Chain A
């Protein structure tokens, strides 16, 4: 096992103090299950070996915070089908989406088969492709939690301003709080507190999590991504739990404001509305958990402008992505993990993105085993 030494970190003294304080507060009979809701946190926890530094009675549950991981299988195919059936359509998506396995293959496989698939780094790049290719129709496969939604919204407003009529958004934007609520509503779910996502919270701030603290009585601490950030957040959570409290606190104060980014929230509101229900991988349909374009932006809504064929995919019956997303199984407990399903040959989306729980487990398990 690769041992992490505290001295390797920046601020080793503060790290040591924080760890000591956690050790001091926690008692042998405690067993806290803490869900980190963001894929970036999952990645940091593994990368820095934080589980090994912490007392055994603190357990991390890896939450649904990677936007490609939570897409139901079929969603990417639906977008790709439009492009593969119409030779004048260009399918654009972020790099994370490119390798998500679908019914007939990933976007990269479609590209190899002749569909015009292009990787973009910003929604604005998709709009630029539209401007440069007036005889083509550009579909932006939009994805992401509240961090990304305002950027898509601005791009739509820009398309309106410039009167671009060959740019279409296929929206898969999702919302963090409804999915956390839905996880808490699952039978036999035991989560004691949440490490709230750092960057989605830049947009939404702390208030939307109040419902989790007040109604579900679970503390939420919005955290940064450094080892010290995460350890401080765990300390804040444990203090609340030991005091029987459940509040929303911000550890990542240098980046996250209590009220979020007001302009970003206004722009989301201007362009998007809640979908009555949206299907999540492994979690089923969750009410008001995703965003679609408002009717006044129908001209740029791929779901309105194209005949989107609903594609449902029979998943490999041994794939346990749903259980992993709900925190009921650790990734390596999935029957396919590491044998059938690997980052090079992903069966489920959790193995695709570097922020997916299965890919993170796989990469770290193998890097530590080889030492």
Chain B
């Protein structure tokens, strides 16, 4: 639960939610913690327990995804993202 998962914002939604894409998996996450960062579609963010924690660069996002793959946690990370069931 401690490693953060990188995702790309593909749509901004009401109620502090955004649709994100993590390696093809799309789910809603909450973006209230990074509102002050003026989040836009196409921004990359680090996600932890269904919340975007901060903005990161695309390069950093790719590195983080690769790290998850290298330590064998990629499937678990995707399972976690699939687990978010926000309405």
Could you tell me which A residues sit within 8 Å of B by CB distance? 10, 38-40, 43-44, 47, 65-67, 94-96, 120-125, 128, 131, 144, 147-148, 150-151, 154, 199, 202-203, 225-226, 254-255, 257, 261-264, 267, 353, 355
Q: In the complex the two chains form, is B50's CB within 8 Å of A122's CB?
A: yes
A261 and B87 contact, Cβ closer than 8 Å, known pairs A202-B46, A255-B60: no
Question: Quick check: is B49 within 8 A (CB to CB) of the other chain?
Answer: yes
When C-beta atoms are compared, the residue in chain B nearest to A150 turns out to be B33
Q: In the complex the two chains form, is B84's CB within 8 Å of A199's CB?
A: no
Q: In the complex the two chains form, is B33's CB within 8 Å of A263's CB?
A: yes
Q: In the complex the two chains form, is A226's CB within 8 Å of B85's CB?
A: no
A121 and B49 contact, Cβ closer than 8 Å, known pairs A94-B1, A225-B67: yes
- Given the complex, which residues of A lie within 8 Å of B86, measured CB to CB? 122, 124-125, 128
Q: In the complex the two chains form, is A263's CB within 8 Å of B71's CB?
A: no
- Given the complex, which residues of B lie within 8 Å of A39, measured CB to CB? 2
Partner among B33, B60, B81, B85 whose Cβ is within 8 Å of the Cβ of A261:
B33
17 A-B pairs whose Cβ atoms sit less than 8 Å apart in the complex: A44-B71, A65-B2, A121-B50, A121-B81, A121-B84, A124-B84, A124-B86, A125-B84, A144-B1, A147-B4, A147-B48, A150-B33, A154-B30, A199-B4, A202-B4, A226-B63, A255-B56
Residue from the set B2, B4, B53, B85 with the largest chain A CB neighbour count within 10 Å: B2
A94 and B56 contact, Cβ closer than 8 Å, known pairs A125-B84, A147-B2: no
- For B, the interface residue count at a CB cutoff of 8 angstroms equals 32
- Given the complex, which residues of A lie within 8 Å of B49, measured CB to CB? 94, 121-123, 144, 148, 151
Q: In the complex the two chains form, is A43's CB within 8 Å of B33's CB?
A: no
Q: In the complex the two chains form, is B3's CB within 8 Å of A151's CB?
A: no
When C-beta atoms are compared, the residue in chain B nearest to A198 turns out to be B4
- Given the complex, which residues of B lie within 8 Å of A131, measured CB to CB? 87
Question: Quick check: is B66 within 8 A (CB to CB) of the other chain?
Answer: yes
User: How far, in Å, is A4 (CB) from chain B's closest CB?
Assistant: 12
When C-beta atoms are compared, the residue in chain B nearest to A254 turns out to be B60
Q: In the complex the two chains form, is A254's CB within 8 Å of B56's CB?
A: yes
- Given the complex, which residues of B lie within 8 Å of A225, measured CB to CB? 3, 67
One digit per residue, 1 when the CB lies within 8 angstroms of any chain A CB and 0 when it does not, for chain B 10-49 equals 0000000000000000000010111110000000001011
Partner among B34, B35, B70, B83 whose Cβ is within 8 Å of the Cβ of A120:
B83
User: How far, in Å, is B30 (CB) from chain A's closest CB?
Assistant: 6
Could you tell me which B residues sit within 8 Å of A by CB distance? 1-4, 30, 32-36, 46, 48-51, 53-54, 56-57, 60, 63, 66-67, 70-71, 80-81, 83-87
- Given the complex, which residues of B lie within 8 Å of A44, measured CB to CB? 71
CA gap between A253 and B14 in the complex, in Å: 31
A261 and B54 contact, Cβ closer than 8 Å, known pairs A10-B66, A38-B2, A40-B3: yes
User: How far, in Å, is B22 (CB) from chain A's closest CB?
Assistant: 12
CA gap between A65 and B1 in the complex, in Å: 12
User: How far, in Å, is A339 (CB) from chain B's closest CB?
Assistant: 26
- Give 7 A-B pairs besides A121-B50, A202-B54, A254-B56 with Cβ atoms closer than 8 angstroms: A65-B2, A121-B83, A123-B49, A125-B83, A199-B2, A225-B3, A257-B54
- Given the complex, which residues of A lie within 8 Å of B50, measured CB to CB? 121-125, 151
When C-beta atoms are compared, the residue in chain B nearest to A131 turns out to be B87
When C-beta atoms are compared, the residue in chain A nearest to B79 turns out to be A121
- Given the complex, which residues of A lie within 8 Å of B71, measured CB to CB? 43-44, 47
- Given the complex, which residues of B lie within 8 Å of A95, measured CB to CB? 1
CA gap between A10 and B33 in the complex, in Å: 32
Q: In the complex the two chains form, is A202's CB within 8 Å of B51's CB?
A: no
When C-beta atoms are compared, the residue in chain B nearest to A225 turns out to be B67
A263 and B84 contact, Cβ closer than 8 Å, known pairs A38-B2, A123-B49: no
When C-beta atoms are compared, the residue in chain B nearest to A252 turns out to be B60
Q: In the complex the two chains form, is A121's CB within 8 Å of B54's CB?
A: no
CA gap between A147 and B81 in the complex, in Å: 17
Q: In the complex the two chains form, is B3's CB within 8 Å of A199's CB?
A: yes
Q: In the complex the two chains form, is A154's CB within 8 Å of B33's CB?
A: yes
User: How far, in Å, is B71 (CB) from chain A's closest CB?
Assistant: 5
Q: In the complex the two chains form, is B48's CB within 8 Å of A255's CB?
A: no
User: How far, in Å, is A266 (CB) from chain B's closest CB?
Assistant: 10
CA gap between A122 and B71 in the complex, in Å: 22
